[in-house]
Structure 1
Amino acid sequence: MPRDSADRTFIETLSQHFAADMFTPAEQSYLDEPRGRWQGAEGFVARPRSTQEVADLVKACAEGGIGIVPYGGGTGLVGGQIAPASDTNTPLILSLERMTRIRAIYPQENVLVADAGVILANIQSAAADADRLFPLSLASEGSARIGGLLSTNAGGVNVLRYGNARGLCLGLEAVMPDGSIWHGLKRLHKDNSGYDLRDLLIGSEGTLGIITAASLKLFPRPAAHGTAFFAIRDADAALGLLSLARAQLGESISGFELIHRTGLDFLTETLPDIRQPFPGAPPEWMVLIDIGLPRGIDPLAALEELFMSAEADGIAYDAIIAQSEAQRQEFWSVREHIPEANRRIGSVSSHDVSVPLGELPNFIAQVEQAIGQIGEFRTNCFGHVGDGNLHFNVFPPPGRTRNDYLKERDQIKRAVHDITHALDGSISAEHGIGRLKKADLARYGDPVKLAAMRAIKDALDPKGIMNPGAVLP
């Protein structure tokens, strides 16, 4: 019997030993990925309700040598949640969508404990109900689940002030590749008792174990928010504005997003109902800045003072400051819909990179030149410039589609990543490696680090059942 058929038979037999509604044939939603690059291998999806059921499933799969693809909200952009037939034999898709319990909230400790299947927006809401803030925020927060966000070490718009997912997690509960349960769900800020398994699992994209619950950091809610668009002359001015804002506003800066005019042009083209901030033609470059302040400080006055200083220094030449919470939400809606507009245009090649802050203008200039030498393209550069993370995406000219440029895709990606690497940057800032960037990791990764990663993978998952085909070949 071919291995693929044997896998299916094993999973069908396995399903008889669990709850009747746990195993179902995988619906199309489990086989698609947001950018349409891969089609998942048809198989079965298991939806356990508890950590013990996850452990029992993993143990059985380990005994049978069956690959497991952990599935959160399906929002990943590098194919980590999809197992194409070419990558592996029939895997078991293990979805945590039924594990949605907020286990506990400790307001005095600023800690929330949640199952891995809880949607990010629901964690934010639960924190708000306790008059606290869980600051992880990204465009997919209405469907992304906390287990997947931790397993990819997600970033988002508030990293500048609060850190990425790893920095927001105190402890984990996880099922290891042999089916054992690691009870690391602590609420401690200090724990130096040996190797940090928490930090190892965060960012491992389900290749070393399955996160089933997490202890998360909460923060006091700012008493007042301020949001503004600043029109700036170029990317170098964005660094000057960031330095000035830090000098005047300290650690109150939550978001600092660089946006190019192309992003707003794409919104006009594909999502005309999104209300844009600047009347008429938008500036060539702009920054969306968001601040959270304690009681007694007026955010409007703080942003007005910042603009006056920036204008006097020749950094910014215009600004629109949100006058209400509704307008503030409109500003953020512009930023959050840029990825959707990009998707509708259809990128030839998309890149999630980071470089040292001081190299950002140099990076943008070099990449623009390199892309221009390859052909006629539109580029959309935007992202979390406060932490050096840019999304530099390349699109076909008007009237053409990305399918017209399939031959150029690898050349474009190589050019962007070569420049990133030369500037001591990273070819994956916040999206992870998944299946999309395995070859890039092998090309640009430090050999010692890659050898250590392989040794860790082989030690913890000797049968190679955890998300086979992701991150490492």
Structure 2
Amino acid sequence: MGDAIIAQFKELIGAQNCLTEAADIAPYCREWRDKFFGSCNLVLKPASTAEVSDVMKLAYEKNIAIVPQGGNTGLVGAQITDDSADQVVLSLERLNAIRTLDAESNVAIVEAGVILETLQQAADESDRLFPLSLGAQGSCQIGGNLSANAGGTNVLAYGNMRDLVLGLEVVLPDGRIFNGLRSLRKDNTGYDLKHLFIGAEGTLGVITAASLKLYPKPREQQVAVFAVDDPEMALELFQLARGDAGQMMTGFELMPRIGVDFTLKHGEGIRDPLEEPHPWYCLIELSIGSKAVNGRALIESIFEEAFEAGLVRDAVLAESQQQADDFWRLRHGMSEIQKFEGGSIKHDISVPVKSIPAFLARAIAASEETIPGCRPVPFGHMGDGNIHFNISQPVGADREAFLARWTDLSTVIHGIVKDMNGSISAEHGIGTLKRDELPSVKDRVEMDLMIGIKTLLDPKGLLNPDKVLSVTALKNNSDL
């Protein structure tokens, strides 16, 4: 890609929005955990759907590979270029407008670069709720949330990002604009094409805007931390609480003591929720929409019933919004805080909810057998079957030597997941991290269909190449 082509991009979106200096480009080529690094000579920052379309048309004409990027908070490398320096980063950060927020219709139309927390706050100011909630919500962007089909802590009640979308606006690899930005709750007019792009990790099109569902803001929320002896008790507590609260239970998170210890040690302003340490903790959130329901009485009743049944050793109920926020900070900080304990090998898995205790027992034992002294830190969304099975290095071990065992350990953990009919990627996606493993967990017909869709929409293979599907698989289906 010579200076003449770069000059053409500058004409399209302005020279100041075409980064060419190494220092300016560097943050776009590095994943925040320092696991994935890329190389590129140009970062493009368009400010409108029309500019994205113009950029994609030129790139398509000149056979230039484009890697879309949102807030760069992804965990599987989907947003990072390769090391060839031939790919261009397309940052959506300047498409950051909330176009409309219709409280009466419970719909917000937002651009891809809107920060998740910004949308949450805008909804709150209109007495509405946008329920997606993630640890990275202060920096992740809506386009990335859509491309990864983000989950988070509220999936139990509201579903994944896919369940929160009414319509999409997408620029295709050749620059054409798919205008599917509808706000209808019911539209049964043929193929629902928006779902092709949700969870596609930027391989089929560049999402530029979305029509998203809002909900009435809860009148009351109750948050509590329950101490239990083991995951079996946690599962029984979940079933009891779900039976009592039904859809009013919007969160059920499982945390191990080691994760709490790490967060207390390295997190700023984090306090131990209970006076005595316990092996496992469950964070429960209830969201009450009806005046007829006393949320405090309900959460207290759940505790009393669970305590009498011998499921709970202790509990603390938030007495203020600040204390409720502190409980959630303990949970949300659990992933990032592990970096202070050295290398961490991470897995984003799901199994049937009833299988979580058995999975944890097998996976913890297998991890310790594979790497003696390693420290498993499993936590996450027990209510929807998604556990972040992270493993910290042994105390005093060499970080790089430990991380070099990533594939060995993942093979063991994912083997257990497959044996339990689970998924090796519950919410983070495939990217490059799990790309080569994908054919082993997908049916051959599924892979053929995915390859066919990619080939149809991106025949030149220029949009986020080698992510989710390998270039080899696309060139030769028999390689699967």
Q: Tell me the TM-score normalised to structure 2 length.
A: 0.94
1:176-200 Cα distance to aligned partner (Å, 9 max, x none): 1110001100001111212111111
The CA distance in 2 between the partners of 1:8 and 1:396, in whole Å, is: 46
The CA distance in 1 between the partners of 2:2 and 2:151, in whole Å, is: 36
Instruction: Using the TM superposition, give the Cα deviation of residue 142 of structure 1 relative to its aligned residue in structure 2, in angstroms.
Output: 0.7
The CA distance in 2 between the partners of 1:31 and 1:461, in whole Å, is: 23
Q: Secondary structure at the match of 2:333?
A: helix
Match of 1:417 in 2: 414
Match of 1:3 in 2: none
1:94-136 Cα distance to aligned partner (Å, 9 max, x none): 1111111111111111101111111101101111111100000
Q: Secondary structure at the match of 1:320?
A: strand
Q: Secondary structure at the match of 1:112?
A: strand
The CA distance in 1 between the partners of 2:447 and 2:408, in whole Å, is: 24
Q: Aligned letter for 1:68?
A: I
1:141-183 Cα distance to aligned partner (Å, 9 max, x none): 1111101100100000000001110000100011011100011
Q: Does 1:58 align with 2:53?
A: no
Instruction: Using the TM superposition, give the Cα deviation of residue 402 of structure 1 relative to its aligned residue in structure 2, in angstroms.
Output: 2.6
Q: Secondary structure at the match of 1:98?
A: coil
Match of 1:355 in 2: 351
Instruction: Using the TM superposition, give the Cα deviation of residue 399 of structure 1 relative to its aligned residue in structure 2, in angstroms.
Output: 1.9
1:39-62 Cα distance to aligned partner (Å, 9 max, x none): 121321111111000001001101
Q: CA RMSD in A?
A: 1.5
Mapping of 1:46-445 within 5 angstroms? 46-85=44-83, 89-271=85-267, 273-280=269-276, 282-294=277-289, 295-376=291-372, 377-445=374-442
1:397-446 Cα distance to aligned partner (Å, 9 max, x none): 22224323244221111000010011000000000011111112122222
Q: Aligned letter for 1:453?
A: M
Change (3 A) 1:400 1:270: farther
Change (3 A) 1:399 1:8: farther
Q: Secondary structure at the match of 1:440?
A: helix
The CA distance in 2 between the partners of 1:426 and 1:297, in whole Å, is: 37
Q: Aligned letter for 2:394?
A: P
1:195-225 Cα distance to aligned partner (Å, 9 max, x none): 1111110000000000000000000011011
CA contact (8 A) 1:46 1:95 kept: yes
1:319-355 Cα distance to aligned partner (Å, 9 max, x none): 1111111111111111111112112223341100000
The CA distance in 2 between the partners of 1:267 and 1:129, in whole Å, is: 31
The CA distance in 1 between the partners of 2:331 and 2:3, in whole Å, is: 44
The CA distance in 2 between the partners of 1:346 and 1:13, in whole Å, is: 45
Mapping of 1:13-32 within 5 angstroms? 13-25=8-20, 26-32=24-30
Instruction: Using the TM superposition, give the Cα deviation of residue 27 of structure 1 relative to its aligned residue in structure 2, in angstroms.
Output: 2.3
Instruction: Using the TM superposition, give the Cα deviation of residue 17 of structure 1 relative to its aligned residue in structure 2, in angstroms.
Output: 4.2
CA contact (8 A) 1:38 1:84 kept: no
Change (3 A) 1:446 1:254: same
Match of 2:475 in 1: none
CA contact (8 A) 2:169 2:178 kept: yes
Q: Aligned letter for 2:437?
A: D
Instruction: Using the TM superposition, give the Cα deviation of residue 296 of structure 1 relative to its aligned residue in structure 2, in angstroms.
Output: 4.2
Stretch deviating more after TM superposition (339-348 or 71-80): 339-348
Task: Identify the match of residue 33 of structure 2 among 35, 57, 81.
Answer: 35
The CA distance in 2 between the partners of 1:426 and 1:7, in whole Å, is: 43
The CA distance in 1 between the partners of 2:150 and 2:63, in whole Å, is: 30
Change (3 A) 1:254 1:41: same
The CA distance in 1 between the partners of 2:193 and 2:87, in whole Å, is: 26
Instruction: Using the TM superposition, give the Cα deviation of residue 279 of structure 1 relative to its aligned residue in structure 2, in angstroms.
Output: 2.1
Consecutive unaligned residues of structure 1, counting only runs of 5 or more, are: 1-5
Q: Secondary structure at the match of 1:308?
A: helix
The CA distance in 2 between the partners of 1:18 and 1:268, in whole Å, is: 46
Q: Aligned letter for 1:137?
A: S
CA contact (8 A) 2:40 2:88 kept: no
How many residues align? The count is 465
Consecutive unaligned residues of structure 2, counting only runs of 5 or more, are: 471-480
CA contact (8 A) 2:147 2:200 kept: yes
Q: Aligned letter for 1:91?
A: Q
The CA distance in 1 between the partners of 2:265 and 2:392, in whole Å, is: 14
The CA distance in 2 between the partners of 1:272 and 1:142, in whole Å, is: 17
1:52-101 Cα distance to aligned partner (Å, 9 max, x none): 00001001101111111111001001111101215xx5212111111111
CA contact (8 A) 1:32 1:39 kept: yes
Q: Which stretches of structure 1, 4 residues or more, deviate above 6 A after TM superposition?
A: none
The CA distance in 1 between the partners of 2:208 and 2:12, in whole Å, is: 21
Q: Tell me the TM-score normalised to structure 1 length.
A: 0.95
Q: Aligned letter for 1:412?
A: L
Match of 2:450 in 1: 453
CA contact (8 A) 1:33 1:76 kept: yes
The CA distance in 1 between the partners of 2:166 and 2:383, in whole Å, is: 24
Q: Secondary structure at the match of 1:365?
A: helix
Match of 2:461 in 1: 464
Q: Secondary structure at the match of 1:211?
A: strand
